[in-house]
Amino acid sequence: MDLRLSGQVAVVTGASKGIGLAVVSTLLAEGARVVAASRGSSPGLEELAGDDLVHVAVDLMEPSAPGLVVARAVEEFGGLDILVNNAGGPPPGVTLPRSSFFEAGDDDWRTVFELNLFSVVRAVRAAVPLMLRRGGGAIVNVSSGNARQPSQMNVDYGAAKAGVNNLTKALSEEFGPQGIRVNTVSPGPVRTPWWTKQGGAADVIASMTGSDRDSVMDRLAPEMMRLTTGRLVDPQEVADAVALLASPRSASTTGADFVVDGGFLKAV
């Protein structure tokens, strides 16, 4: 299917690995021009290097950073059509999951909200005026199943992502009549570095359960989270949903939440 993204200009945050890297690769394959934002580059991002890809090294927790990334899209490609707010998860130096509400203090909550909610707010604030000048655009905010499924694990993260969902609905109502569609994609547990890196979620859960990291990712985590598919989600599966929502083929989809979670959410 042609997603009709050829020549479109996109900003993707958290772009060097995992879901973000898959989104960048997918948008490039569809003919889009992409500004990829992350703290540093990666071998995967470097493999995609070309005239249609610009990497911006920024810390999106810095208040000025999202605006700088959006401005770079104008500088390099003349405008902005698509914004994918993917940056999120554990802030630098933070290990998730936490197993209790009491494991996170005020500073922990602030840093989680800075990365997972406030960076989204700031990126949207910078992007919307540019999209309005072009007659519209698409914003896709990567949320989480934890936004809708409260848990004692990662309470601060779930609350921040719930804020992203609420923000998305509000933005879709205000700017939909002006041609800007705003949607969320809510992954379940995705096999990304959050899980796979040394000291990541797989190792944390392995230490809690007396298991090993491979068993956690292959069997224990899907069982604990009651995933219908019996496996963690692949980043490309999330990227495909993001690309579809960014596409003009989704012209009547706004204010929606696309769930790509392996059956994690059970409620109607």
Q: How far is CA 85 from CA 15, 69, 152, in A?
A: 10, 12, 25
* 128 within 8 A of 81, measured Cβ to Cβ: no
Tokens of 56: 């911006």
Exposed/middle/buried for 55, CB within 10 Å: 0-12, 13-18, 19+? buried
Question: Do 184 and 195 sit in the same domain of this protein?
Answer: no
**% the chain with pLDDT above 90:** 89
* 32 within 8 A of 26, measured Cβ to Cβ: no
pLDDT digit string, tens, across residues 186-198: 999 999 988 898 8
For residues 189 and 201, give the distance between their C-alpha atoms in angstroms, rounded to a whole number: 10
pLDDT value of residue 13: 98
Q: Domain of 94: which CATH number?
A: 3.40.50.720
Residue 178 annotated among the catalytic residues of the structure: no
Question: Do 117 and 222 sit in the same domain of this protein?
Answer: no
Question: Do 105 and 152 sit in the same domain of this protein?
Answer: yes
Query: Within a domain: residue 44?
Result: yes
**pLDDT (mean) for 145-160:** 93
Question: What domain range includes position 126?
Answer: 9-189+234-260
* 144 within 8 A of 157, measured Cβ to Cβ: yes
Question: Do 130 and 15 sit in the same domain of this protein?
Answer: yes
Average pLDDT of the chain to the nearest whole number: 96
Query: Within a domain: residue 250?
Result: yes
Exposed/middle/buried for 87, CB within 10 Å: 0-12, 13-18, 19+? buried
Query: Within a domain: residue 86?
Result: yes
Question: Do 196 and 80 sit in the same domain of this protein?
Answer: no
| The length of the chain, given as a count of residues | 268
Question: Do 168 and 222 sit in the same domain of this protein?
Answer: no
pLDDT digit string, tens, across residues 241-265: 999 999 999 999 999 999 999 999 9
pLDDT value of residue 105: 94
**pLDDT (mean) for 51-71:** 98
pLDDT digit string, tens, across residues 80-111: 999 999 999 999 988 888 889 999 999 999 99
Instruction: Give every strand in the sheet of 180-187, ordered side by side.
Output: 53-57, 33-38, 9-13, 82-85, 137-142, 180-187, 257-260
End-to-end CA distance of the chain: 30
Strands 33-38 and 9-13 come out as parallel
Q: How far is CA 34 from CA 10, 12, 122, 213, in A?
A: 5, 7, 19, 34
Catalytic residue among 77, 113, 157, 195: 157
Query: Within a domain: residue 4?
Result: no
Query: Within a domain: residue 265?
Result: no
pLDDT digit string, tens, across residues 225-238: 999 999 999 999 99
Question: Do 51 and 176 sit in the same domain of this protein?
Answer: yes
Question: Do 124 and 57 sit in the same domain of this protein?
Answer: yes
How many structural domains are present in the chain? 2
Question: Do 134 and 65 sit in the same domain of this protein?
Answer: yes
Question: Do 31 and 116 sit in the same domain of this protein?
Answer: yes
**pLDDT (mean) for 162-168:** 98
Query: Within a domain: residue 178?
Result: yes
Question: Do 183 and 201 sit in the same domain of this protein?
Answer: no
Query: Within a domain: residue 3?
Result: no
Query: Within a domain: residue 145?
Result: yes
Mark residue 80 as left, alpha or beta (left: phi above 0; alpha: psi -120 to 50; beta: remaining). Answer: beta
Question: Do 122 and 221 sit in the same domain of this protein?
Answer: no
